[in-house]
């Protein structure tokens, strides 16, 4: 007999002793009977109390053993290692961005500063954006001065005050003073920044080129392998994190998931599996189970891609409509650009006239009426330019669509969208579903979506054929013997389907890792026991 069996026998003996303890007697008077019962009760209580102390001591010993085992069983936390790897992934996506055919101001984050100046920006927001803009240029080796802010007489006046580090009160007064003669000051300053970007275009391009060369050497990548290296690295790290024993165990220890639901015998587990099998999952033979598990993993990744695609589908719809007009827009695009150049020259000449009217320059005399006239003209001119830029930005993206043909994939079209920052700005900043996120974060997520290692449908499906993406996906997985309906992967239903797939995916990740649900179950039980001890 083993020692544990001895211990269980001892417990059984206790039980027999307590159950069979004689508490009553038939002999003697009522008083004697009561006395017997009282003494017997005291004696049995004393036995029980001693036993309870002994067993509680035993529990303490077990808990100490559990504490030890818990720390031994608990998988190692690799968060710090992952943090480094995720930082490397961030660095890699920047390497990918540097290689894209997008503007240098986009690559260098200058465009985001411009987009932060909106109609509803406060004076503080405006000044913060100006500071950031100047700082960024400084980082890229370009020192901006008042000479760069002479887009209009108003921007110059405002920026003089800005560069003189005026206090907030003085600033407010300057702003108010200019505002009455130039209510569009914010817009003019924004256009001034656009003008600066254009003025230093070559220097920015050179900086990007040099910066790219340095970073590509540092990370040992080149233009032909940077995307594939990023995708494979991100895929590998992503898979390791998804299968990480510590993270997956923590999901259950922190009560984010219920371990009982994931155990073999769980009805919830069975229900989720059966959702995707034509018959019961448990009725499948081993080969079919293996095929099912391969297909379901693939389906999970595809649905994640589809779900994200739904989030950005509006861009594709817009671009498909624009593609129809791409040929007619070509000439319009070029003539609009010329028109802008011409109107920018007019703006410059208004500015020169203004300087003359101020009495600046040889043989010039101050002429207040002329000055006021120039200011009015300038306001109208910048408004006109702003309108022209807006029209130009709108057709720019359609113009870029000329570079693709009818065989383009969904992915190709998304990549075209990156070529026009104002288009992206217009797409995302007007949509309610993106309102809670900052624009740089939105674009960062969009990049990560485009370069997701698991994207396959985006790259394979032609964007211009009259396809039904849902039908293509559902048919594919039906052929792989999964029970998938078109209805289950529509924008309204995909979340619920993904929830079940996520459930199965977690099971697969745990079962393919170095831990198991039995281990996690044991850790959860030990944690509950030790937690109760801490609370008591």
Partner 1 sequence: MENDFSFIKELGDKELLDLYDKIVEHIQYLKENIIVISDGGDSSNVSN
Positions in the binding site for partner 1 (CB under 8 A):
2-4, 7-8, 11, 14-15, 18, 23, 34, 37-38, 41-42, 44-45, 48-49, 51-52, 54-59, 61-63, 65-66, 69, 73, 518, 522, 525-526, 529
**Smallest distance from the beta carbon of 77 to partner 1, in angstroms?**
20
DSSP one-letter string for 212-243: HHHHHHHTT--TTTHHHHHHHHHHHHHHHHHT
- The answer to whether the beta carbons of residues 404 and 416 sit under 8 Å apart is yes
| DSSP secondary structure of 17-34 | HHHH-----SSS-HHHHH
Q: Judged by CB, which is closer to partner 1: 25, or 164?
A: 25
Q: 67 or 289: whose CB is closer to partner 1?
A: 67
Nearest CB to partner 1, comparing residues 69 and 372:
69
Nearest-approach distance from CB 54 to partner 1, in angstroms:
5
CA gap 477, 136 in Å, rounded: 49
Longest dimension (CA), the chain: 140
**306 phi, psi to nearest 5 deg:** -65, -40
From its phi and psi, is residue 257 left (phi > 0), alpha (psi between -120 and 50) or beta?
Answer: beta
Residue 535 beta carbon to partner 1: minimum distance, rounded to whole angstroms: 15
Q: Rounded to 5 degrees, what are φ and ψ at 442?
A: -60, -45
- Residue 138, SS3? helix
CB of residue 66 to partner 1, shortest distance in Å: 7
Read off the DSSP letter of residue 371.
H
Shortest Cβ 65–partner 1 spacing (Å): 5
For partner 1, which is the closer residue by CB, 16 or 387?
A: 16
* Phi, psi for 333 (deg, rounded to 5): -60, -45
Q: Which is nearer to partner 1, 34 or 81 (CB)?
A: 34
> Minimum distance between the CB of residue 5 and partner 1, rounded to whole angstroms?
10
Nearer CB in complex with partner 1: 67/448? 67
Q: How far is the CB of 250 from partner 1 (least distance, A)?
A: 19
CB-wise, 61 or 368, nearer to partner 1?
61
- Minimum Å gap between C-beta 485 and partner 1 is 41
Report yes or no: 307 and 494 within 8 Å, Cβ to Cβ: yes
Pairs from 450-453 (Cβ < 8 Å, separation ≥ 24)? 450/411, 450/414, 450/415, 450/418, 451/93, 451/96, 451/227, 451/230, 451/231, 451/234, 452/234, 452/305, 452/308, 453/231, 453/232, 453/234, 453/235, 453/238
Which CB atom, from 40 or from 358, has the smaller least distance to partner 1? 40
Q: How far is the CB of 265 from partner 1 (least distance, A)?
A: 15
User: How many CB atoms within 10 Å of residue 336?
Assistant: 20
């801490």: which residue's tokens?
Answer: 534
Angle CA(132)–CA(138)–CA(140) in degrees, nearest 5?
Answer: 110
Q: Which residues of 458-468 are buried (b: 16+ CB within 10 A; e: fewer)?
A: beebebbeeee
**Structural tokens at position 485:** 């309906």
Q: Are 216 and 94 in contact (CB under 8 A)?
A: no
Q: How far is the CB of 523 from partner 1 (least distance, A)?
A: 9
Q: Which is nearer to partner 1, 468 or 528 (CB)?
A: 528
Q: Whose Cβ is closer to partner 1: residue 31's or residue 338's?
A: 31
CB closer to partner 1 out of 19 and 341? 19
Spatial CA neighbour of 191 closest among 235, 140, 152? 152
In the bound state with partner 1, the residue whose beta carbon lies nearer, of 56 and 465, is 56
CB of 60 to partner 1, least distance (A): 8
d(CA 140, CA 208): 9
CB of 35 to partner 1, least distance (A): 8
**Residue (4 or 362) nearer to partner 1, CB:** 4
How many CA atoms does the CB half-sphere of 88 hold within 13 Å?
Answer: 20
Q: CB nearer to partner 1: give 48 or 301.
A: 48
Tell me how far, at minimum, the Cβ of 44 lies from partner 1, in Å: 7
Helices (H), 108-263: 110-115, 123-139, 153-163, 168-181, 185-199, 201-218, 226-242, 245-253, 259-262
Phi, psi of 125 (to 5 degrees): -60, -40
Nearest approach, Cβ of residue 57 and partner 1 (Å): 6
């Amino acid at each position: 007999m083993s020692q544990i069996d001895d211990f269980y026998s001892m417990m059984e003996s206790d039980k027999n002793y307590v159950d069979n303890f004689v508490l009553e007697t038939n002999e003697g008077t009522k008083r004697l009977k009561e006395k017997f019962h009282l003494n017997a009760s005291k004696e049995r209580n004393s036995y029980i109390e001693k036993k309870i102390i002994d067993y509680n001591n035993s529990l303490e010993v077990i808990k100490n053993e559990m504490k030890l085992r818990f720390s031994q069983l608990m998988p190692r936390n690799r968060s710090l290692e992952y943090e480094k790897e995720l930082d490397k992934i961030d660095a890699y996506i920047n390497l990918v961005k540097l290689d894209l055919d997008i503007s240098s101001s986009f690559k260098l984050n200058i465009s985001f500063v411009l987009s932060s100046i909106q109609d509803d920006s406060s004076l503080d927001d405006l000044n913060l954006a100006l500071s950031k803009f100047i700082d960024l240029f400084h980082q890229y080796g370009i020192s901006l001065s008042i000479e760069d802010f002479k887009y209009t007489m108003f921007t110059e006046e405002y920026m003089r005050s800005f560069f003189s580090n005026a206090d907030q009160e003085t600033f407010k007064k300057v702003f108010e003073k200019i505002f009455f003669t130039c209510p569009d000051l914010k817009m003019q300053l924004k256009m001034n920044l656009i003008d600066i970007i254009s003025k230093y275009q070559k220097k920015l391009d050179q900086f990007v080129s040099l910066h790219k060369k340095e970073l590509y050497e540092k990370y040992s990548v080149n233009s032909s392998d940077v995307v594939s290296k990023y995708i494979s690295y991100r895929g590998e790290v992503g898979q390791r994190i998804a299968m990480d024993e510590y993270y997956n165990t923590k999901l259950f220890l922190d009560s984010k998931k219920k371990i009982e639901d994931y155990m073999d015998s769980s009805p919830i587990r069975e229900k989720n599996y059966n959702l995707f099998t034509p018959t019961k999952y448990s009725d499948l033979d081993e080969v079919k189970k293996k095929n099912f598990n391969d297909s379901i993993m693939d389906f999970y990744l595809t649905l994640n891609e589809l779900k994200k695609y739904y989030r950005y589908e509006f861009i594709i719809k817009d671009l498909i409509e624009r593609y129809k007009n791409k040929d007619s827009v070509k000439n319009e695009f070029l003539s609009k650009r010329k028109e802008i150049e011409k109107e920018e020259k007019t703006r410059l000449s208004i500015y020169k006239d203004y300087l003359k009217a101020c009495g600046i320059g040889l043989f010039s005399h101050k002429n207040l009426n002329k000055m006021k006239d120039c200011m009015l003209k300038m306001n109208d001119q910048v408004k006109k330019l702003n309108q022209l830029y807006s029209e130009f930005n709108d057709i720019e993206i359609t113009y870029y669509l000329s570079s693709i043909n009818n065989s383009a994939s969904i992915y190709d079209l998304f990549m075209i969208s990156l070529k026009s920052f104002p288009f992206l700005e217009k797409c995302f900043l007007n949509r309610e579903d993106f309102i809670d996120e900052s624009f740089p974060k939105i674009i960062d997520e969009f990049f990560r979506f485009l370069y997701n290692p698991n994207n396959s449908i985006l790259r394979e499906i032609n964007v211009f054929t009259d396809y039904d993406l849902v039908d293509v996906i559902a048919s594919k997985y039906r052929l792989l013997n999964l029970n998938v309906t078109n209805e289950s992967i529509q924008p309204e239903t995909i979340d619920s389907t993904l929830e079940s797939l996520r459930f199965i995916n977690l099971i697969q990740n745990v079962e393919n890792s170095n831990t198991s649900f039995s281990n996690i179950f044991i850790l959860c039980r030990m944690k509950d026991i030790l937690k109760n001890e801490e609370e008591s």
